[in-house]
């Protein structure tokens, strides 16, 4: 999805991407690294990455590592889109 995101960011500065991770039960450090690479790409053009996560283990990883200070993590799609 990196290529798609690059193209989207190039064509739409200020793009807000909401990634629906409600079906994700665990997250690896590799996946977190890719998310933050995407975040950086978006921030460089005035955009933002938002995540929707319901799984306690996934939400806890973001909280414990204080990553929720860098990426907005919501429990519903409606909140992420607001």
Of 42, 9, 2, whose CA–CA distance to 71 is shortest? 42
Q: What is the dihedral of CA 37, 79, 67, 18, to 10 degrees?
A: -10
The residues near 21 (Cβ < 8 Å, ≥ 6 apart) are 27, 51, 52, 53, 55, 58
- Residue bearing tokens 């064509």: 11
11 token code pair: 């064509």
Residue 3 has pLDDT above 90, yes or no: no
Residues 10-58 have pLDDT tens digits of 888 899 999 999 999 999 999 999 899 889 999 999 999 999 999 999 9
């Amino acid at each position: 999805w990196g290529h798609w995101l690059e193209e989207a960011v190039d064509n739409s500065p200020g793009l807000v991407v909401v990634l629906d991770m409600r079906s994700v039960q665990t997250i690896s450090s590799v996946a977190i690294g890719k998310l933050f690479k995407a975040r950086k790409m978006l921030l460089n053009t005035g955009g933002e990455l938002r995540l929707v996560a319901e799984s306690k283990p996934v939400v806890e990883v973001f909280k414990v590592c204080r990553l929720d200070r860098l990426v907005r993590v919501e429990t519903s799609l409606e909140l992420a889109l607001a």
